[in-house]
Amino acid sequence: MLWAEKYRPHLLKDIINQQEIKNRLKGFIEAGTMPHLLFAGPPGTGKTTAALVLINEILGSFDVFGRKEDQLQTNVPYLELNASDERGINVVRERIKNFAHLMAINAPFRVIILDEADSMTSDAQNALRRTMEKYSSTCRFILICNYSSKIIEPIQSRCAVFRFTPLSDKDAKKYLQNIIKKEKVVITPEGINATIYVSEGDLRRATNILQSAAIVGKEITEDDVYKATGKAQPQDIRKMIKFATTGAFIESRKLLLELLIGQGLAAQDIIKQIHREAVGMSDIDDKTKVEMIKMVGEIDFRLTEGANPEIQLSALLAHLVGLKL
């Protein structure tokens, strides 16, 4: 069983952080009802968990955890769909509409969870808006997305909006240490810190990384974590940047080639790490940081357009060297 599911909170109080959101959801639970909801925020911050916990508390006698196989039965009052797989207008017209128009049995109303709702087409969202209006007496919607800006305004205005924030390193560490203890995982302190660094506030990803690394059965080190996730060690990225900003282009490019070819890392991942590390480096002046971040943005765009990774990243390093000449 995936640890991300095994250790998913089933009670509102067990959701990590998000205290303000938990307080607002508690009010819905006490009232026994809720409006349409929009949960927005980065991956792995508890949006889907909060939705499942909420409807589990309100629906009462129905266990919403692990019951996806019988959601279309008429006596089951909730339906969970991933909108990235079923994003077209036909899904709204058929599956969603057919489920929403029926009265709930032994529950105050039906609930539809639409995960990754920001991937729905504009036509599908407009059809969904009409469905939300028409069947509001029998069905409530919980829309989950990473970017609320991709949800059309008419839907946003019909929902209570909740914005989830990335978890702090402290919260992530506490959560992981609980799993480590229960699963008897042997991991170094540096390995835990590396897992937190790579996951970037995404608890689901952190848990999956930990489980993947633990399968080997030996002590997990930070090297194991970075190799398993295809990420460069932060100190290597910082060293590469430092070489470039001090005029040592050959040494800087040698490190780049080791990451790209020797370790087989993806150029997109390297550019993201350069951006992340550059912002936090105290030994680089602000002017250099500004130039670097501008160039990183340009290189990132070129890479998405299909440009050669080695040439583009080498150009970035050359640009940094040029700032010092």
- Residues 11, 135 within the same domain: yes
- Residues 118, 196 within the same domain: no
Provide the whole-model pTM.
Answer: 0.83
Note the pLDDT of residue 61. Answer: 53
- Residues 52, 134 within the same domain: yes
First vs last Cα of the chain: how many Å apart?
A: 56
Kindly state the helix (H) or strand (E) to which residue 39 belongs, with its residue range: strand 37-40
Burial status of residue 195 (CB atoms within 10 A of its CB: 0-12, 13-18, 19 or more) = buried
- Residues 203, 61 within the same domain: no
Q: Looking at the 3D structure of the chain, how many domains does it have?
A: 3
Q: In which domain, by residue range, is 205 found?
A: 169-229
- Residues 191, 316 within the same domain: no
Confidence of residue 64 (pLDDT cuts 50, 70, 90): low
- Residues 140, 179 within the same domain: no
- Residues 208, 248 within the same domain: no
Please say whether the beta carbons of 156 and 190 come within 8 A.
Answer: no
- Residues 207, 298 within the same domain: no
Note the pLDDT of residue 74. Answer: 52
Task: Say which CATH number the domain at 28 has.
Answer: 3.40.50.300
pLDDT tens profile 85-118: 665 666 777 778 888 888 877 788 899 999 999 9
pLDDT > 80? residue 318: yes
- Residues 28, 149 within the same domain: yes
pLDDT tens profile 156-204: 999 999 999 988 999 999 999 999 999 999 999 999 999 999 999 899 9
- Residues 216, 127 within the same domain: no
- Residues 97, 189 within the same domain: no
- Residues 256, 174 within the same domain: no
